[in-house]
Structure formats: structure tokens, C-alpha cells
Amino acid sequence: MAKDLAGKVALITGGTSGIGRETAVLFAKHGAKVVVSGRRGVEGSETVELVRAARGEGLFVQGDVSKSADVEALVTKTLEKFGRLDVAFNNAGVEGVWVPIAEQDEKDFDQTVAINLRGVWLALKYELRQMLKQKSGGAIVNMSSVAGLMGSAGAAAYAATKHGVIGLTKSAALENAKSGIRVNAVCPAVIETAMGDRLFGAPEVHEFAIGLHPLGRFGKPLEVAEAVLWMCSERGSFMTGQAIVVDGGFLAGPNPGAVTPGRRA
């Protein structure tokens, strides 16, 4: 197997489960040294064990991406352990509370923005500073969603943050293109993760949501991880400022609107 990230140091936020964990293991299999971050210590350590089982070097750094000090410390600890930073996947995110705007609690809205949007902005800020200092380029992928490319009644806060991630991605790509740093985003539809189970686990909701995916199933974390790997490798070297959709055909048809209006996560 080709080692697409051989000799690279990669940082993954939200790496304690799901897409982040799958990406960490895949990066390790492709030769990267992987730093994983998240709020849950036990799960983070489990991800690092999986990285090591894939014959990779790993480090877990516990932290909250909505806090500037935590994100700055994350990059600092990456440098202390591995000496540099080449690749980043800003994956940490939450679904928040899905209700109509008129019923949205301000605290719920603020928390969703703090993690999904401010967290990506903070990660970009400190990752880019280090990559610019190294003067050797780099690659960053931000986690957006199909909700970043369409409206979703009942999930306005979530959709707004994912639209914002794409705006951050394009701006960061333009600001850093001449420095050889590429910044892209990935936009999944429903993926088989704990978040997907929380939102679409009820039988009637699950059946309806499956029907919105022309391929007739939800995506798998590895399928998203493969797209992230490609964007972070030299195989994606002419791509920056873009958002790759991994959605089983979800966006190919009419805008489905809200999956479950008024549903609380």
C-alpha cells in the first residue's frame, strides 16, 4: 500500500470516535504520526491504541476546541512530541438542539456556534501560524456537512455553522495559497456514527432519512476518511478552497428540507 502521508505529522480534532477516529487510523496506515484531540479522555486513549495497532505513532491531547488556550496548547504539544505540523483535519463538532428558530434557546445556539464554527476558526488560526512558520506548505481539511450547502428547517443553528465552515475554508485557502498551504472542506450526509444514531436512530426517522439517500444507505466513517486522506495527500495537490460532497446522492435531487422538524437531539 502506498504511504500517502509518509513522514507527515497530522492533527485531528474530534478524534475520539466516528469519522475522526477512522481518519486517525487511516492516516497512521498511510505513514503519518497522528495527534488526536477531544474532550473524552478514555475514548481518546482508545483511538491512540488503534493508531498504534496500525503501526503508527500517536498522541492524545485532551481539550475543547471552543477554548483558545486548549487549541493553542494542542498545537504546542504536537510540536513538543513530533517537532512539526503538516496536516490537520478539523473534525470536532456537535449537532446541537434541532428545533425551529422561534423555539431555539440562546445557550444552545451559542454552544453549537462555539464548537462547530469558533472551534474550526481557532484550529485554523493556530495550525496556520505553525505551518506558515515552517515555510513548507501543508494541508488542512475542515468538517462541514451537506447542511453547509442547503437550508434545513429545524436545524438552523447547525446549518449556519456548517455554511460558516465553508466560508472559513475558502477564505483560509485564498489567504495561504501562495504559501503552499491548501485548505478544503468535506461535506458528508448522514454517516453511521453516534451522532447519526442520536438524530436518526428512531425507526420511523431512520426509514425516512435513508430514503433521502439515493444509494439507499447511510455512509460509513471510512468513506469520509478516504476523502479526507485524498485531500491531505499529494494526490489532491491542485485542490484548495473546495468542499467535497460525500452524500450518497443526497444533494442530487430536490432540497429535502428538514429531516425531522422540531426534533431534539
Residue ranges of domains in the chain: 9-247
Burial 9-45 (b: 16+ CB within 10 A, else e): bbbbbbbbbbbbbbbbbbbbbbbbbbbbbbbeeebbe
Q: How many whole angstroms separate alpha carbon 18 and alpha carbon 217? A: 17
pLDDT tens, position by position, 115-165: 999 999 999 999 999 999 999 999 999 999 999 999 999 999 999 999 999
Q: Tell whether the model's pLDDT for residue 99 goes beyond 70.
A: yes
The predicted pLDDT at position 168 comes to: 98
The predicted pLDDT at position 256 comes to: 53
Task: Determine the average pLDDT of the residues in 36-40.
Answer: 95
Q: Which residues are catalytic?
A: 144, 158, 162
Q: Tell whether the model's pLDDT for residue 265 goes beyond 60.
A: no
The partner residues of 15 in beta bridges, in order of sequence, read none
Q: How many whole angstroms separate alpha carbon 120 and alpha carbon 128? A: 12
In the three-class reduction of DSSP (H, G, I as helix; E, B as strand; rest coil), residue 61 is classed as strand
pLDDT tens, position by position, 166-209: 999 999 999 999 999 999 999 999 998 777 778 777 888 888 88
Number of neighbours of residue 219 by Cβ within 10 angstroms: 21
Q: How many whole angstroms separate alpha carbon 61 and alpha carbon 55? A: 19
Task: Determine the average pLDDT of the residues in 90-114.
Answer: 95
Task: Determine the average pLDDT of the residues in 86-103.
Answer: 95
Task: Determine the average pLDDT of the residues in 32-36.
Answer: 98
The predicted pLDDT at position 105 comes to: 95
Q: How many whole angstroms separate alpha carbon 57 and alpha carbon 85? A: 14
Cell of 137: 506548505
The predicted pLDDT at position 259 comes to: 47
Global model pTM greater than 0.75:
yes
What superfamily would CATH give domain 9-247? Answer: NAD(P)-binding Rossmann-like Domain (3.40.50.720)
The predicted pLDDT at position 263 comes to: 44
